[in-house]
Each structure stands twice: as structure tokens, then as C-alpha cells.
Structure 1
Amino acid sequence: MSPRKAAVLRDRDDSDLREHLIATAERLLAEQGGAGLTVRAIARAAGVADGVLYNHFADKEELLAAALRAHVDAVHRGLPPLPAPGTTSVADNLTAYLQQGLALHRAILPVMVGLLAQPAILAKFGAAQGRERDWRDVLADYLHAERDLGRLAPDADLDATVTILVGICHDEVLAALLPGGARRTSPVSAASVITTLLTGIGMESF
């Protein structure tokens, strides 16, 4: 966006310019990560003067936290719908949930890893409520619904199940990002993970 067009936005509606700044910072985060991302770089990409950012945000950390939240919400919105409880089989449904979780973490974790050296941004991100429900919460609700339907063992530890599946997503993505992390010759098989998991929490037929 040119400085002239950004100025028009500023004159017409401050909320438009604020959203423009968030969208610009979100794009830069997704393209190059947060390490070394400066106010000047964001302002130039947005087509505004450096000081304009401080008319809408207390500091760079607040802007990048809002941009990270926008990125996470956008990734959630771009994922396909998840199967409802009671449809097809639990194994097929949980495979779909895990595949979505892996896709979600592959899109989000690289950006977050780039911000580890800036904990203030992650703290502000954590304090801000997102517009989309967290995948972990959706997964937990699905498991509880399936247990209520009698398709999972009544004594199944669903909190542990959620932790296992979230941990697999973290391990799969972080192993490829962190220096010295383990390297696999092939990505994790969601179907194989779910089959193994259901051996412990499933009924005789799942």
C-alpha cells in the first residue's frame, strides 16, 4: 500500500489503518519470522511513517502479538471442517483430527519459534483471546462426546489422550525446526498413531 493510500485510510477510519498494520505485520511474520523484524520494516511495508504505529499500539510487541493472533486465527479458518462425534469410525475421525493438528502446528510453530527470544510478544499473545477456538479444546470436546456416546471406554483418560496428540504435533514440527533435533526419514503416520492409541482407550470394536 502506498503512503498516500495509507494516509487516506488514516483520515477516514483509524480502525481500518489499525487492521492494515496488523495485516502487514502478520504477512511479514509469516514470510520472514519475527527475528529482527523492526518497526521501520513494518511501517515501510504498510506504507506509513514509523511513528504512525505508536498511534495504534503501545509498542512493537503489542503489534506483533496482535499480528500473531491474527495469523493463528487465519490458519484455523483455513482448515477443513472436522468430523462430528458419532460419524464414521472413531479411528477415522481421530485420524482427521490429528492430520488437522499437524497442519495447524506446521503453519504456526515456525512463526512462534522465531519469537522465542522475545517473550514479551508471546506473553501478550497468550493474554489475548482469539476469535477461533483452539484445536486442542475442539479435540477434547470431540473425545468427551464420543465417550458419552459409548464409542470410547468409559474410564478412558481423555486429558492424557489430548496431551499425547498435541505432543505428537509438537514433536513432529519442532524436530524439524530446532538445531540438533531428531530427524525422521518420513513424516509421522496419523493413522498408525491413532490405531496404536485406540488400542489403549478404545472399546473392543472401534
Structure 2
Amino acid sequence: MFTLVRTERFEQEIKKSRFLAQAAPADSEEEARRFIAASSIPDAGHNCWALRVGDVYRFSDDGEPGGTAGRPILQAIEGRDLDRVAVVVSRWFGGILLGAGGLVRAYGGTAASCLKAAEREPIVAYAILSIACAFADEARIRSGLSAFSGTRAETAGFTPDGVQLQVTLPRDRADEFIRLVADISRGQAMVERVGDRT
């Protein structure tokens, strides 16, 4: 799965109607709805939209015939293997009726063109580890993290014998890092998996 790196816009004219697509990354449904509200243009005849955030899918035809706008926008999102994305397609009517099939192609095509032009990045699943280690092992553990891209280590507190670290790293490398910590600390560090995030 992928998400967008930044907001993208795409505009085209189809049979004298103007279509403007705006797409953005969104980490939550609330963030997606804020983007949709901010991107809906008051003087447009219709501001149709779709969002996908994890298992949450929503779309709106905003007055267009049912199934001709929101669902094709959602299909454009899914067609690009995207998640955590919101897309708004605004339409200014140009005087020529497009018919149901024409609307599906216009809304879906405008959204797809916008998403095709957008830069995307993979969504990485992260593991969060809690590590209790001796002061003497802390620097070596932090140094070992440099071999793992996309990691972060923060001091979470201190114990009578050492330090408590919270480490976030790509989930698919967590077991490898746990083995490294065991080697560095000669099996003395306590490692606990405390959660996951994406």
C-alpha cells in the first residue's frame, strides 16, 4: 500500500464542463474530512469526494446521480493501491449533459489522472520496542540502530541499573534488531514489544 507524499491538483475540461481534482494524504478520517471541507469550492456545482483510511471508506456524489461520482473516485484511489488518501473532484457545469456513463468516466478519470501525477510513498508498518539495558550497553545499542533505516530511539527513563529506551523501527526488521540487542548486551537487556503503528 502507498500514500501520497503531498497534496496534488489536476484540472481538465470535458465537454465544456470543468473538473478540478485535489488529492491529499490523510492519517485519519477526521483529517480527510477537514481536507474535503477545505477543498470544496463554493462556486462549483458539485464537490464530489472519496476517502480511504485503513478500513474506512467514504464517498459522496454531492447531488450528481447516485454512483456516478463518489464511487468512481474511490475506485481511482483503490486502482493506485492507495490508503490514507482523500480526493475531492469539483465540477463546473458547461451546458452539455454527460449522461451517467460520461459522469463516471469524467469523475473517475479526473481523480485517476490526479493520483497518477502525485508522488507516492510506501506505507511502512512499525514495531515499538521497550528496551531496559545497562548504561554501558546504551551507546552500542544506539549505534547498532544505524544499520536499520527508518528507526528512532528515545530515552524513556532510567532504572537503578541503567536506561529505558523506546525504539521504533520497521516491523519486518524487529526480530533482527532484538537479536542484535541480545548479542550486544550478552542477553542482559530486557526487550518488550509494546505496540505497532503504521
TM-score norm. by structure 1 comes to 0.27
Answer 1 or 2: which has greater strand percent: 2
Structure with higher helix content: 1
Larger CA Rg, structure 1 vs 2:
2
TM-score by length of 2: 0.28
